Amino acid sequence: MQHVNTGTTTSETRPLHELSSTRIGWIGTGIMGGAMAGHLLAAGAPLKVHTRTRARAEALLTAGAAWAATPAEATRDVDVVCVNVSLPEELDAVFFGPDGVSQALRSGQLVIDFGTSRPSDARRIAEAALARGAEALDAPVSGGDVGARNATLSIMVGGNANAFDRALPIFHRLGKTVVRLGESGAGQRTKIVNQMLVATSTIGMCEAVHFAQTAGLDTEKVLAAVGGGAAASWSIATLAPRVLRGDFEPGFSAQNLLKDLRIARDEAHELGLALPVVEHCLRRYESLVATGHGARGTQGLVLLLRAEQQASAGHAKSRG
């Protein structure tokens, strides 16, 4: 377990008790959220769960979680409220909507947002929580469906140092690397860095595998050869084998990565930065989503490359 806190702990810090006595409200049970909530439930935490479609929470409910009909209900009578939803609009509704978290938040509670959203959203939630005597952390995660299932996520945290220390028992159940980067919004800005690297790595992997397949190489041997050298990466180790199997199910969806790249572009504009590689990645994933593959995994970019190759070959044949 790697755990880094860039702040200091004071005598006022109140660590959470053992998870078996920490009441948790969990909102959002998607590809990653369901697995993460399951780890906390397995650790003995009393868990209330809310998601837009109750059927997606059935495994947790069968395992002993209680159902909450609204985000506000998931917030009542718990110590910690964990949120993991995909879109900034969903986060806004979950937190600030008429039945949102903010309607039931009380002094002493802790809110942890595990999703990826705008840094400005993290700061707004932290301010709203503070106004009610509560605390909030932005704690986006990386590691995909595999990391969520295996509790090996990397967790990037922004927020008060004392709140970070209180949350460590939860973080330790979910990830192997836990780093506090600074105050509210710093976790989300770090996730932007992460997604920039993920996008460029994944696009490079997809183009390389497409090249190897088109060239008639034994792609499994190719991956074995390059995976132990300077080209080694998470994309090569985890996503490339899925491409070879024809598995384009999402560990992390293309449409979610596109959302994150748009956040990266907007934040870069605010900072006065030009990020041409990010702009290229954004255009490629916009094209993939436009072809109807937004719900595929990020490795689905190979499908776009194949379609473009076929279209190019058809155009050349028609001209020939």
SS3 45: coil
User: How many helices, marked H, and strands, marked E, lie in the chain?
Assistant: 15, 10
Per the annotation, the verdict on 191 as an active-site residue is yes
DSSP 116-145: ---HHHHHHHHHHHHHTT-EEEE--EESHH
List 48, 191, 221, 259, catalytic entry:
191
> Phi and psi at residue 110, in whole multiples of 5°?
-125, 130
Q: Are strands 141-142 and 153-158 parallel, antiparallel or unpaired?
A: antiparallel
SS3 182: strand
**Which residues share a beta bridge with 81?**
25, 111
Q: For residue 320, what are the CA distances in angstroms to 274, 311, 312?
A: 41, 14, 12
Torsion of the alpha carbons at 64, 67, 73 and 74, rounded to the nearest 10: 50
Q: Are 218 and 276 in contact (CB under 8 A)?
A: no
Active site residues: 191
